[in-house]
Amino acid sequence: MDAEMARLYLSREEESLEGAVHRELRVTGSDLIIRVTSENSSVLHSSVSSLLSQLSTVVTALRFFVPEFFKPHQE
């Protein structure tokens, strides 16, 4: 569920990339798989930096707002 929520949030940003960067987001089980490609290395660097910042925001939000019963049990 967390991976799908992150995918939905990060998918909104794909529209602003205007074809300079291709971002593929998919969920497999509980994993979010991200693939970012571009022919321009400086654009790719900028896009990956932005993506990591957005991903950090998602992780922080999930830690604080996802109810305890959705979190995996740790043994």
Question: Cα–chain-centroid distance for residue 70?
Answer: 19
59 or 16, greater pLDDT: 59
**CB 34 within 8 Å of CB 7:** no
**Percentage of the chain lying above the pLDDT 70 cut:** 77
Residue 1 pLDDT > 90: no
**Domain locations along the chain:** 2-67
Please give the radius of gyration of the chain, using alpha carbons only, rounded to the nearest integer. Answer: 14
Residues 6+ apart with CB under 8 A from 66: 2
pTM: 0.71
